[in-house]
Amino acid sequence: MKKVLLVAVLACLLAVPAFAQAVPTLSTGTREIGLGGTIDLEGESGLTYDFSVLYGVFIQDALEVGGTLGYDFVEGDPDNTTTLSLEGLVDYHFLGDTAFVPYVGGRLGWSKTETGDVDSDAITYGARGGIKYFISDTVGIEAGIQYMMATEDIYYNDSVTEPEDTNLTIEFGIRVLF
């Protein structure tokens, strides 16, 4: 199922260039809001919901600082897993003359994970990179990859019964500039 979803999203991203001619302006003072979610390539089996909201400000051309608030829910057997996260971010965008804008960045934050009767808090940190495709001067879609580490074992990977301290995810989202 994950492979089918990934192929469908990539096909949509490849089809979009036929409709767009936008080149974004990511200059000092520009603000960005976004909605997103992830596909977890190493995730626990079960139904997964993962949502995040983002707010960022470009403090200089192509350099953005901001934050995200995220909520994850994984339906597991026998317990469900929920995670609430709050992260700061720094992203650098590689500007050009096209609607495609690659970026690299990092995140630092806090996560609280609950599974059954077990609660875990952790400081999280990691790197990310990807590409934003702007379908207009102010609206873009994003696809990226993120590798996160944590100070505690809070990530359930590969259907393991014990959590781990690293996680690899693919992110998708929509971004609006103003």
**pLDDT, tens digit, 9 for 90 and up, residues 50-103:** 899 999 999 999 999 999 999 988 776 667 888 999 999 999 999 999 999 999
Domain residues for 33? 2-177
Residues in Cβ contact with 144 at an 8 Å cutoff, skipping those fewer than 6 apart? 103, 128, 129, 130, 131, 170, 171
Backbone φ and ψ of 19, nearest 5°:
-110, -10
Domain of 14: which CATH number? Answer: 2.40.160.20
Confidence (pLDDT) at 80:
81
The total domain count for the chain is 1
Distance CA 68, CA 113 (A): 16
Q: How confident is the model at residue 148 (pLDDT cuts 50, 70, 90)?
A: very high
Distance CA 95, CA 27 (A): 10
Residues in Cβ contact with 156 at an 8 Å cutoff, skipping those fewer than 6 apart? 43, 44, 74, 76, 81, 115, 163, 164
Tell me: pLDDT of 4 over 50: no
